[in-house]
Structure 1
Amino acid sequence: MGLAILFAVFSFKNMFDARYMIPVAGFLAGSMIESNSKSLETYYSGLKNHNAIYYYLLGNGATHGQAVNYFVKRALEKNMIPMLGKMAYILLGVTPMILWSMILSGTGVVDAVFMQILMLSAMLAAAPVSLLITLAVARAYSFDAYGQLKNMDKIA
């Protein structure tokens, strides 16, 4: 996602310049790490404490993916709600300082403003995408080959 942002703003001329790459990587990593940790906690605690719902859905003919989607949906909700609040903070508190520092480092005003707009939209888009990837990896460790929940005390 970060490379796409850098390519959209700067094409290939200065794409890997540290003054552009460091803010992009910092914004995206900072926005994803906190929300992913809260979402994973919701996912695992849901599987641990409400595993009867998972088995109930399986018993009533749901596939493994359909039964797990309930917990994935809850994790996505836990991911996006704080993300919107964080966006307001970043828009009002952090963005003007980053914009000013980019202009002082030699970036053109139009490039800096365009990059800030792209960064805000990338942060909002990258959080659920990274969570879905994280949950796909976590699903491999939560269930055995037969679709049975592993011992959640060892996982969470």
Structure 2
Amino acid sequence: MNAVNIPVSGLVFGLLMVLPTLLLVAYFRLGFGKQLLVAVVRMLLQLGLVAFYLKYIFLLDNLWVNLVYVFLMVFFAAVAGIKNASLRLKKLLVPTFLAMLFPTLITLLFFNGAIIQITPVWKAEILIPIAGLMLGNTLKSNIVALKTFFMLARKEQKIYLFLLGNGASKKEAARPFLKEAIRTAMAPNLATMATIGLVSLPGVMTGQILGGSDPVLAVKYQIMVMLAIFFNSLLSNILQLLFVLRQGFDERDQLIPEIEN
């Protein structure tokens, strides 16, 4: 089976779908028409650039180039995560970057070396797409984890202070917030894993099938990718929140108000 190409006319018709979308947004006064247009333009520019330079990165397939590219992906994911969680970039950039970087590198090495067993493990055409899949999902779960944690820390501040006053450490007093934040962040991943194949055919599998791969091979990749994404997101969320406990509280174990925008 060969991949079905999308002609230029097909791309034009696809972009025309934005028009009825904008009309619906305007009719129901949803208020994000401008953001939608900006998002579509940015998507076109960014993916156009990706299509151009990834072609040469794949041909070059250099270890250091690949690692730099992954580091940049993690950096921009960390920046986006902090901004979308409405937190101070300067205060949390380094811990968020590290909380995403370490799990991603560990998962990538294991995925490439032990699961699909490619040589070398830094092969660009595998390393970069898998890193993108993991970081995209990790970014979403990290945003939810951060928002949930700080919401609970404000809402349940009296409980936190009560536990501190009764001899609990900062980590012990904040443990209920940590647990709930992680559970909330990982809930969509669990739901997706439990219904995959019944409710939806996910991106990796659909992309491979459309690209001409055997459905059995596509299913193998999808299962492994889902497990890798779940592990990566969970480990990143845990590290992120542990770092927040260090950076987001003062020497008296009080939440720093300035950490939130």
Fold conserved between structures, TM > 0.5: yes
CA 1:103–1:14: 2 relative to 1, 3 Å: farther
CA 1:145–1:102: 2 relative to 1, 3 Å: farther
Larger radius of gyration: 2
Q: Is the 8 A contact 2:144 2:184 kept in 1?
A: yes
Q: Is the 8 A contact 1:19 1:102 kept in 2?
A: no
Counterpart position of 2:35: none
Identity in percent: 28
Counterpart position of 1:56: 162
| Separation of aligned partners in 2, 1:80 and 1:109 | 28
The C-alpha deviation readout for 1:42-75, integer Å capped at 9, x for no partner, is 1011112221111011122222211011110110
Counterpart position of 1:16: 122
- Structure 1 position 94, deviation (Å): 1.3
The C-alpha deviation readout for 1:107-143, integer Å capped at 9, x for no partner, is x998765443221111111111100111122112221
**SS of equivalent residue, structure 1 residue 128:** helix
Q: Is the 8 A contact 2:208 2:218 kept in 1?
A: yes
Q: Is the 8 A contact 2:134 2:232 kept in 1?
A: yes
Tell me which of 238, 242, 250 is aligned to 1:132. Answer: 238
| Separation of aligned partners in 2, 1:47 and 1:155 | 12
Counterpart position of 2:24: none
Corresponding position: 1:94 with 2:198: no
TM-score of the superposed pair, with normalisation by structure 1: 0.81
Q: How does 1:74-153 map to 2 (within 5 A)?
A: 74-87=180-193, 88=195, 92-100=201-209, 114-150=220-256, 152=257
| Separation of aligned partners in 1, 2:139 and 2:151 | 18
Counterpart position of 2:178: 72
Q: Is the 8 A contact 1:40 1:75 kept in 2?
A: yes
Deviates more, 1:38-47 or 1:18-27: 18-27
Query: Aligned partner of 1:80: which letter?
Result: M
| Separation of aligned partners in 1, 2:122 and 2:196 | 27
| Separation of aligned partners in 1, 2:230 and 2:132 | 14
Query: Aligned partner of 2:204: which letter?
Result: T
Q: Is the 8 A contact 2:145 2:182 kept in 1?
A: yes
**SS of equivalent residue, structure 2 residue 251:** coil
- Structure 1 position 86, deviation (Å): 3.9
Deviates more, 1:110-119 or 1:13-22: 110-119
| Separation of aligned partners in 2, 1:117 and 1:11 | 16
- Structure 1 position 95, deviation (Å): 2.9
Q: Is the 8 A contact 2:138 2:233 kept in 1?
A: yes
Counterpart position of 2:259: 155
Deviates more, 1:81-90 or 1:41-50: 81-90
**How many positions carry a matched residue from both structures?**
151
Query: Aligned partner of 2:170: which letter?
Result: H
Q: Is the 8 A contact 2:205 2:221 kept in 1?
A: no
TM-score of the superposed pair, with normalisation by structure 2: 0.51
Unaligned runs of at least 5 residues, structure 2 = 1-106
Query: Aligned partner of 2:245: which letter?
Result: R
**SS of equivalent residue, structure 1 residue 138:** helix
Q: Is the 8 A contact 2:171 2:245 kept in 1?
A: no
